[in-house]
Chains A and B, each alone.
Chain A
Amino acid sequence: MLQEILAFEFMRNALLAAILSSVACGIIGTYVVVKKIGFISGGIAHTAFGGIGLGYYLGINPLLGVIPFSLFAAVAIGLLSKKAKVAEDSAIGAFWAVGMAIGVICIGLKPGYAPDLFSYLFGNILTVPTVDLWMILSLDLFIIGVVWLLNKEFLAISFDEEYATVSGLKTTALYLLMLCLIALTVVIMMRVVGIVMVIALLTIPAAIARMFSRSLPGMMVLAVVLSSLFSLCGLWFSYQLDIASGATIIIFAGLAFVLAHAWRMVNASLTAQ
C-alpha cells in the first residue's frame, strides 16, 4: 500500500514537503506561541498574498514574489507597532487587508484565469514541484542556522523583552529578525496549508508542545514531531477520502488541540480530587 503510494512522484514530494515544512513550523511556531504573536503571523501571511498577485502579474514564480513581499510586511508591521506608536492590532489589520487587496488587483489585471490561485490560499500539498522542495529545504536550513546562532537572544526577547534591553541587546532589531523568520516560514507553509490556514499550523503544534515541555529546544523538537504527524495524517486521509489536503491537516491539528486540552482538564480535576 505504502509502496504503491510512494511510486507517485507527487506523493513523494508531498511527504517530503510535509516533513520539511514541519521543521520550520515547529521551530518558529514555538517562538510565535511563547511570544504570543500569532496574530502578527496571521497578518504577515495574509499580506503575503499581495506578493503572490505581484508574482502572477510579473509572470514569475509566485514564491519569488512572496518572499520579498512578506519580509517587507514583517518589517513594516514590526516597525509600525514598535516605533510609530500605532496600536499593534490596527497595524496588523491594515496590512492584512491591504496586502490581500494588492493581490486581488494584480491578479485581476493579468488577463486569463489564475489556475492554482486556490492552492496558495488553501494549500495543496499534492502539487508541490521538486523545485519548491529545494526552496523549502534551503529556507529550513537558513532558519535553523539563525535560530542556532541567536538562541539565547531569541529566548531573552521572548521571555522578557525589557530585561533583554537592560542586558544590552538590540531588541527591536532582534524582534524584526524574528518576524522575518516568521515570514519565511509562512512562505514555506503556503504550499502545504495555504495562506489562510498558516496560522493554525504555526500555533497549534507548538501550543500542544508547550504543555509537555520544560525548555524551548524541547518544545521545538516536540512541535516539529507533532506538526509532521498532523501533516502526514492529514495527507493520508485527504488522499484516501479525496478531500482538500490543507484543510484536512488543519482539522487534524485542531482535533489534537482540543483533545490535548480536554486531557489536561480531566487530569487536573483528577489530581484535584
Chain B
Amino acid sequence: MKKEPIIECDRLSLSLGGVKVLDSLTLSVYDGDFLAIIGPNGGGKTTLLRVILGLEKCSTGSVRVFGGAPGGFPGRVGYVPQRLFFDRDFPISIRELVLMGRLSNKKLFQHYNKRDRQIADEAICTAGLEKLSERRIGDLSGGELQRALIARALAGDPELLLLDEPTASIDPQMKTTIYDLMEHLKEKLTIVLVTHDTGTISRYVTRIAFLNVTLELYESGVSPKSESLSSLYHYPVNPVVHHSPVSRTIDHP
C-alpha cells in the first residue's frame, strides 16, 4: 500500500516581482522523512518553506500539505524561522516564548492553562533549556535561542517540523548539539530542514534535495546525475537537473 505523502508539490512554480523563484518543482515528503534542502543563497529554499506554510501562494502547479491547502492545519506543522527576524530586546522569557508554540492548539480568547504550561515545560526540557527557562531572550546565545525556537515549535505538538537555517551563524559545537537534538526528534517527527550546512547534515538526514532558482527537482533517482551524486554522498539523493550552470554545491561538496 502506498503511503499518502505529508507534503506533495506538483510542478510548483512561483514568481516574486516578475522573477521566477521556484520553477516546476515536484517533491513529496513522506511520514518519517528527514529531508534536507540545500542550495545557494537566493535559490528559493526559504520561499519553498513559505509556500508549504501557506505564507506564499504558488503561481502555477499545486501544493498539498496533509492532503489539504497549505496553512490549513496549523496544529500539525511546527515552524522554526530564521531567528534574525525579531527583536532581541523584546521583554519575554524563554518560557513565554515556548508557550507561544501552543497558539495553534488554542482558540481565540482562550487563555493558556496548566496543561499548556506543562507541555511547554516538556518542550523546554527536550531542548535542554530547563535551567534557562526564566531568562530573557536577549540574554541568550545564538545557539540557546535557536533551541528555544525549536522548543516553541515542539510545544505545538506537531507531526511535521520545518526548520529554516537553524544553524546559520552558530558556532560549530552548538551546531552539533542542534543536530543531535534533531537526530532525537526524527524518531517521532517528519522533518524538513533548509540549510547551507552541506558538510554536517550528511550524517543525520535520510534524504537531500538540491534547490537552485530554475530547476527541476526529482522525487526519485530518475535523473541522469543520480548515480554520481549517490556515490558522492553515502545516502539516497534527490538530484536536480539545472538549466543554468551547475550549482557549486554539487561540484564541491
A residues within 8 Å of B by Cβ? 34, 36, 149-153, 155-156, 158-160, 162-169, 210, 213-216, 218-219
Contact = CB atoms under 8 A, between A and B. Distances in A.
Interface centre among B77, B104, B112 (most CB of A within 10 A): B104
B217 interface: no
A153 B55 CA distance: 18
Contact of B87 (A34, A149, A155, A215): A34
B103 interface: yes
Given A163-B81, A167-B156, A214 B104 contact: no
Contacts of A150: 108-109
Contacts of B128: none
Interface residues of B, number: 30
A167 B92 contact: no
A169 B103 contact: yes
Contact of A210 (B74, B75, B89, B108): B89
A163 B85 CA distance: 10
Contacts of B112: 152
Given A152-B111, A168-B103, 14 more contacts: A34-B87, A152-B103, A159-B97, A159-B100, A163-B81, A164-B103, A165-B55, A166-B71, A166-B74, A166-B77, A169-B103, A214-B93, A215-B96, A218-B91
Contacts, number: 73
Q: Which applies to chain A's interface (DSSP): helix, strand, loop or mixed?
A: helix
Given A215-B96, A216-B91, A166 B79 contact: yes
B53 interface: yes
Contacts of A165: 55
B117 to A, nearest CB: 12
B136 interface: yes
Interface in B40-69: 53-55
B188 interface: no
Given A159-B100, A164-B103, A34 B79 contact: no
A165 B74 CA distance: 9
A216 B96 CA distance: 10
Contact of B91 (A153, A168, A169, A219): A219
17 contacts: A34-B90, A149-B109, A150-B108, A150-B109, A152-B106, A158-B90, A159-B92, A162-B81, A162-B85, A166-B53, A166-B55, A166-B104, A167-B104, A168-B75, A210-B89, A214-B134, A214-B136
Interface in B190-238: none
